[in-house]
């Protein structure tokens, strides 16, 4: 059992494997406010497992000590480290299946292309891109399947709240396991080079994606709307309903009226917003409601 300081606001002490009810509620409220993450109930094990390394990073004796410091100091560095430490950065190349990316190239792009034939410009945003597999999958799809866009100005912006995930995304370096999860084998020699026991995406691709930190709860103005294609997948599942509704409202204002929104396989707008409707041509996509 770890000793807690006598001035600790949480009276109950706890071991490394558990967390007091007031501390759990404190973290839950902090996550809701900072990143929209709805932790739910009874996920004490998750909080403890995720925050042990953060506690060590800030020289705290244990997770309880870390939470006390956040509570007392309200230090932004600590708050952001705790929020980021709780994010789930699970992702893979071509997540959702090849068919989804084929539909992007063969159904969504041609319509947008026709409508933008004079500007010859497409703006794509991968929000919550984690370690970068999603924006690189989009780029590889366009290179492979949309040669007609070769002399277009294609901007791909990819953002996430997690600097740790973004660092890997910017470097574009993946281990064998990450490569095997979804990347078609023929793409490997074409777009990656081996560095030690890892694979790095070609510089020419890396330079075509702009990565920066962005909190989905913050304004979308920094993304320089209007956006033509938005991938916002497997992140809203962690949001509480009111944050989702508000986010869809802001997203609609940031998208081109004929823009395409892609959500995760288990996500939908049903019962959350009427700001988006399913795309008539392909049910993988949503579009701003008319």
Ligand X SMILES: C[S@@+](CC[C@H](N)C(=O)[O-])C[C@H]1O[C@@H](n2cnc3c(N)ncnc32)[C@H](O)[C@@H]1O
The residue ranges that bind ligand X (CB under 6 A) are: 35-37, 87-91, 95, 128-130, 134, 160-162, 165, 215-217, 233-235, 264
Nearer to ligand X (CB atom), residue 134 or residue 228: 134
Nearer to ligand X (CB atom), residue 68 or residue 134: 134
Spatial CA neighbour of 127 closest among 46, 231, 25, 211: 231
Nearer to ligand X (CB atom), residue 3 or residue 218: 218
Nearer to ligand X (CB atom), residue 16 or residue 80: 80
The least distance separating ligand X from the CB of residue 104, rounded to whole angstroms, comes to 14
The least distance separating ligand X from the CB of residue 29, rounded to whole angstroms, comes to 15
3-state helix, strand, coil in the chain (%, to 5): 45, 20, 35
Nearer to ligand X (CB atom), residue 22 or residue 264: 264
CB-based contact 103:54 (threshold 8 Å) = no
The least distance separating ligand X from the CB of residue 212, rounded to whole angstroms, comes to 11
The least distance separating ligand X from the CB of residue 140, rounded to whole angstroms, comes to 15
Q: How many whole angstroms separate alpha carbon 69 and alpha carbon 74?
A: 8
Q: How many whole angstroms separate alpha carbon 261 and alpha carbon 141?
A: 17
Nearer to ligand X (CB atom), residue 90 or residue 151: 90
For residue 100, CA distances in Å to 22, 35, 141, 218, 262 come to 44, 28, 10, 28, 9
The least distance separating ligand X from the CB of residue 162, rounded to whole angstroms, comes to 4
b/e per residue 233-263 (b: at least 16 CB within 10 A): bbbbebbeeebbbebbebbbebbbeebbbbb
SS3 assignment, position 17:
coil
Q: How many whole angstroms separate alpha carbon 165 and alpha carbon 146?
A: 28
CB-based contact 199:168 (threshold 8 Å) = no
Nearer to ligand X (CB atom), residue 32 or residue 198: 32
SS3 assignment, position 212:
strand
CB-based contact 34:42 (threshold 8 Å) = no
Under 8 Å CB-to-CB from 76, ≥6 apart: which residues? none
The least distance separating ligand X from the CB of residue 186, rounded to whole angstroms, comes to 22
Rg (CA), the chain: 21
The least distance separating ligand X from the CB of residue 185, rounded to whole angstroms, comes to 20
């Amino acid at each position: 059992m770890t000793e807690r300081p006598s001035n600790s606001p949480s009276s109950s002490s706890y071991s490394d494997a558990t967390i007091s009810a007031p501390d759990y509620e404190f973290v839950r409220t902090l996550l809701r406010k900072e990143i929209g993450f709805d932790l739910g109930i009874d996920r004490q094990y998750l909080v403890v497992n995720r925050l042990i390394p953060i506690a060590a990073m800030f020289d705290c004796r244990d997770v309880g000590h870390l939470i006390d410091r956040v509570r007392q100091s309200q230090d932004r560095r600590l708050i952001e480290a705790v929020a980021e430490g709780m994010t789930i950065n699970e992702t893979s190349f071509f997540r959702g299946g090849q068919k989804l990316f084929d539909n992007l190239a063969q159904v969504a792009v041609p319509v947008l292309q026709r409508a933008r034939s004079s500007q010859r410009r497409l703006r794509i945003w991968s929000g919550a891109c984690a370690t970068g597999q999603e924006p690189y999958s989009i780029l590889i799809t366009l290179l492979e399947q949309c040669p007609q866009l070769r002399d277009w100005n294609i901007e791909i912006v990819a953002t996430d709240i997690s600097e740790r995930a973004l660092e890997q995304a910017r470097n574009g370096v993946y281990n064998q396991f990450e490569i095997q999860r979804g990347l078609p084998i023929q793409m490997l020699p074409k777009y990656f080079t081996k560095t030690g026991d890892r694979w790095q995406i070609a510089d020419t691709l890396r330079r075509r994606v702009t990565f920066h930190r962005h909190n989905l709860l913050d304004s979308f103005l920094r993304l320089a709307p209007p956006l033509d294609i938005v991938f916002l997948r497997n992140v809203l599942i962690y949001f509480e309903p009111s944050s989702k509704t508000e986010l869809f409202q802001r997203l609609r204002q940031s998208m081109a009226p004929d823009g395409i929104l892609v959500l995760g396989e288990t996500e939908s707008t049903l019962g959350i917003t009427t700001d988006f409707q399913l795309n008539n041509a392909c049910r993988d996509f949503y579009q701003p409601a008319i």
